[in-house]
Chain A
Amino acid sequence: MIKLYDYVLSVNCYKQRLMMSILDVEYETVPVDFFPGWEHKGEEFKKINPLGHIPVIDDDGYILWDAHAILVYLAAKYDPSGRWYPTGDPGLLGETASWMLFAEGTTNTASAARLCINLGYDFDLEACQAGAHRLFRVLDEHLWFREREGREWVCSGAHPTIADIALFPDVVLSEEGGISRLDYPALRRWTDRVKRIPGFEGMPGIFPASQGR
């Protein structure tokens, strides 16, 4: 069974829990005392991941770290339909890779702002918030045009991809980093759609959406 080195309040760990819940993959978590214990920076944990960060998965001895890399692996291995990581469609695969890189940006701005406020990280909070607003403005416009085209997801396919999973937690928890989504109505509507994906599970601070009509 997959072992996930996990911290319940980490957005990057939540991305893995969400993906495995949607793909109906069985896993167990190994809680890491991220805060206030800084266990991931300790010598013991660095034997598992020398970079000293979580999440890390151990799939029967295969060890992988980096949140967005793990999403690639999980979808490629455990989604027999091939839709979450669409290797069979080069155009869609390119879009997915592009938005995964965009999600690195939202993680390093929106989610970094959240770490400043919630866990006292010493980042430049104002720069993180301003950066998140710049990216959210782009993403809101992108999703607004997607809706006009009759599409629901970040990439142009009819089915969500790992890019939606990579972006969702950074966006939906942004208010914990002092980043209001008042100016991004299309982004807010997209979070409702992600919440309605079968198998969706939340984390503290994320509420379920109502049933669709």
Chain B
Amino acid sequence: MTADPFTLWHPVASEHDVPYRHVHHGQLLGRELAVWRADDDFVNVWENRCLHRGVRLSIGSNDGTELRCQYHGWRYANRSAGCTYIPAHPADAPARTICNRTFPTMERYGLVWSGEEPVGEPPTVDVLEAGTPFGLRNLPVHAPADLAVRHLQAHRFLPSDRLDSGSVAMSVEWADEYSVALTAATTDTDDGSASTAVFFVQPVDSGRCVIRAVLAETPAASDQMAVLRHHATELNALVARIEAEAALLPAPEPMVPVLQQVPLHLAEVPEAPSGRQAALRVQVRRKWETAAGVAAFELAPIEGLLPTFQPGAHIDVHLPNGLVRQYSITNGPGETSYYRLGVKLEPDSTGGSVCLHSTVREGDVLAISEPRNNFPLRRDSMRTILLAGGIGITPLLAMAQALDRMSLDFELHCFAQSAEHTAFSDVLDGLGESVVRHLGLPPDETVAEIRRLVAAPDEFTHVYVCGPGPMLEAARREAAAAGWPDDHVHFEYFKNTTEIDDSSTFEVALARSALTVTVPSGSTILEVLRESGVPLPSSCEQGACGTCVATVLEGEPDHQDVYLNDSDHQAGDRIMTCVSRALSDRLVLDL
């Protein structure tokens, strides 16, 4: 009985084929593959097709963490193949369900193995397990795999240490559908020189294959080139014989790979999320002090991969003490095997940072939400100015790494008490001269420095600010005074320090749900809607993160948030339902 080739592991590349920053163009069973090694040594085997226009990803560029399609610049993350960037997308936030097709991967004996739906692991070969495998030159063959396997059984070569040998006996160790192992032993001397080679045949298509040969023992360094040349010569002659025979046979029909159907969960209308979501479970893989009073955490998935994220995104972390806190993801693009957070200890706050600093340890499991981006980075501006105050570095660090990787012009200004108080210095060092440190400035000099940095507004530059409240207020004031338009200056607040006035009572009509509710004093719109069964996502629930936004169709909002800017507040067409209320008797929301 012959095994179904679609359930087997096959070699799709040799380690020589996947150096860093390269994309190998491969094919298996009729399906074209893009095979690329990320800087973390993970080898990706993907369908060779950009989801956008079907362009081959093998002409794309591998920047070490992401693969970028050459046509319109869509980017896909290492490992998950999730789409991280669509250049024309206004919010810089492609749905994380946009994901290229990936195939299982494993490296063994200097070969990259993959398959359509392979079962178990790639074959283990005793002679290679026991030896020191040495890869020979691969040869593409214009003939079906079974023909190559048949000819390989009559293939001849010389033992590695006796390339001058006059007389050699060949023996077939074994042969199956896709591999042959041969031993060559001298017969003209008593020294018993012998070499074993395993020939794996990769079925490229019905009429094409690649012979990937591995010697069981690595030859002495001084003999290696001669051994490689010997095998290449013998295999070239063999391939000529195989192709001559194949040319006499009728050409088989090419295989037609099955393109993946749209997954069911994408075809259906998704269930609207309500409240704070904690869909993911992660383990604290590493916890360390990245700066004085700042703990860093690496959160790794318990199984599978983490969802892709955009620079500026945050997650909700559900803490053992019941609190829910938001932390920015500081990772660079394509770093999908963990999320890295930075948490500053705030002893006088309500206990989120204290819990993370003192209670949470390496190995603990935490519930987190999927990443959400309410602080999107525009990657279509000529220049970007990032202003980070203290722990406000966290979202801006992700942005800086993304801009750096895309070779876009940016400067990251880090305001901190001292070098010891600067979080993630190692990552900052890697960003070179784009990083400017402003250490130990008193408040008035900080303001003066911000004034200098935003002195010259221009329409091709965007400014992003994250830091403590007074710094954000200063930046907001100075940017406005210098004449920056509101939509070029972007803020992320840690928290909303505004004293919330929830004394009003008003009516909220929901245009799409055909429902009218009354929001009494002491309750928020969000709470009343949730009690009425209207789902609405939320995160910080204090008017800082932007998650619970709703569109206002009629009525005058009473804004109490810090997420929307002054122009947004004046326009009055959006409202943060967790803190803001109504000045009019009635609001109509597009819900």
Q: Which residues of A contact B (CB under 8 A)?
A: 141, 144-145, 147-149, 181-183, 185-186, 188-189, 192, 207-213
Instruction: Please judge, given known A-B contacts A141-B232, A149-B225, whether A182 and B27 are in contact too, CB under 8 Å.
Output: yes
Contacts A185-B25, A188-B24 given; indicate if A210 touches B63 (C-beta within 8 A): yes
Chain B minimum-CB-distance residue to A148 = B228
- Which one of B24, B62, B224, B232 lies within 8 Å of A185 (CB-CB)? B24
Quick one: which of A145, A188, A189, A208 contacts B61, CB cutoff 8 A? Answer: A208
Assembly CA distance A3 to B283 (angstroms): 65
Q: When each residue 558-572 of chain B gets 1 if its CB lies under 8 Å from chain A and 0 otherwise, what string results?
A: 000000000000000
CA distance A192 to B23 in the complex (A): 10
Q: Is the CB of A145 within 8 A of B24?
A: no
Query: Which segment, of B12-20, B124-132, B506-514, faces chain A?
Result: B12-20
A210 touches B232 (CB 8 A): no
Residues of B within 8 A of A183 (CB): 140
Identify 18 residue pairs between A and B in the complex whose beta-carbon atoms are under 8 Å apart, listed by A's number. A144-B16, A145-B229, A145-B232, A148-B224, A149-B225, A181-B25, A182-B27, A182-B140, A185-B13, A185-B24, A188-B22, A189-B19, A192-B21, A210-B62, A211-B21, A211-B407, A212-B20, A213-B39
Q: Tell me which residues across on chain A come within 8 A of B407, comparing CB atoms.
A: 211
Asked whether B64 is an interface residue with its Cβ less than 8 Å from the other chain, the reply is yes
A128 to chain B, nearest CB (A): 18
Whether A210 contacts B61 by the Cβ 8 Å rule is yes
Q: Are B16 and A147 touching (Cβ within 8 A)?
A: yes
Main secondary structure of the interface of B (DSSP, over half): mixed
CA distance A207 to B26 in the complex (A): 19
**Judging by beta carbons under 8 Å apart, are A192 and B27 in contact?**
no
Chain B, Cβ-Cβ closest to A196 = B21
CB distance from A205 to the nearest CB of B (A): 10
CB contact between B25 and one of A145, A147, A182 (< 8 Å): that residue = A182
Mark contacts of B60-98 with chain A using CB atoms, 8 A cut-off: 1 yes-contact digit, 0 otherwise.
Answer: 011110001010000000000000000000000000000
B228 near A192 with CB under 8 A, answer no
Residues of B within 8 Å of A211, CB to CB, are 21, 63, 407
Q: Which residues of A contact B17 (CB under 8 A)?
A: 185, 189
| Min CB–CB distance B199 → chain A (angstroms) | 17
Given contact pairs A182-B25, A188-B24, A209-B21, A144 touches B68 in the complex (Cβ within 8 A): no
Number of interface residues of B (CB under 8 A): 30
CB distance B21 to A212 under 8 Å?
Answer: yes
In the complex, the answer to whether A141 meets B137 with C-beta atoms within 8 Å is yes
Tell me if B59 is interfacial: C-beta within 8 Å of chain A: yes
**B22 CB contact (under 8 Å) in A144, A145, A189:** A189
Complex Cα distance, B13 from A192, in Å, reads: 18
Query: Could you give, for residues 198-219 of chain B, a 1 whenever the CB lies within 8 Å of some chain A CB and a 0 otherwise?
Result: 0000000000000000000000
| A185 to B15 alpha-carbon distance, docked (Å) | 12
Interchain residue pairs A-B with the least CB separation, the first 4: A210-B61, A183-B140, A207-B70, A210-B63
- In the assembled complex, how far is the CB of residue B20 from the closest CB belonging to chain A, in whole angstroms? 5
Q: How far is the CA of A55 from the CA of B276 in the complex (A)?
A: 66
B21 touches A188 (CB 8 A): no
Bound Cα distance A147, B228 (Å): 12
Which residues of chain A come closer than 8 Å to B59, judged between CB atoms? 207
- Docked Cα-Cα span, A181 to B32, in Å, equals 12
A209 to B25: give the CA distance in the assembly, Å. Answer: 15
What 10 new A-B contacts, CB under 8 Å, besides A183-B140, A185-B17? A144-B137, A145-B137, A145-B229, A182-B27, A188-B22, A189-B19, A189-B22, A210-B21, A210-B68, A211-B407
- Contact status A148-B225, CB under 8 Å: yes
Hey, what's the 0/1 contact readout for B280-291 against A, CB within 8 Å counting as 1? 000000000000
For the complex, what is the distance from the CA of A82 to the CA of B384, rounded to whole Å? Answer: 42
What residues of chain B lie closer than 8 Å to A189, measured between beta carbons? 17, 19, 22
Residue-wise interface mask of B (157-171) relative to A, using a CB-CB cutoff of 8 A (1 in contact, 0 not): 000000000000000
Bound-complex Cα distance A149 to B16 (A): 13
Name the distance in Å between B327's Cβ and chain A's nearest Cβ: 30
Task: Considering the complex, give the chain B residue whose CB is closest to the CB of A133.
Answer: B142
A209 to B407, CA, bound (A): 13
| Cα–Cα distance between A97 and B148 once the two chains are bound (Å) | 37
Complex interface: chain A residues within 8 A of B229 (CB):
145
Taken together as a complex, chains A and B put the C-alpha atoms of A183 and B26 apart, in Å, by 8
Measured CA separation A208–B21 after assembly (Å): 12
**Complex CA distance for A212 and B225, rounded to whole angstroms:** 27
Asked if B16 and A213 make an inter-chain contact with CB atoms under 8 angstroms apart, the answer reads: no
- B70 cross-chain contacts in A, Cβ below 8 A: 207
Chain B positions within 8 Å of A188 at CB level: 22, 24-25
Chain B residues near A213 (CB, 8 Å)? 20-21, 39, 64
Closest to B13 in A: A185
**In the docked arrangement, what's the CA distance between A104 and B387, Å?**
56
The minimal Cβ–Cβ distance linking A129 to chain B, given in whole angstroms, is 13
Which residues, 1 to 57 on B, are CB-close (under 8 Å) to A?
13, 16-17, 19-22, 24-27, 32, 39
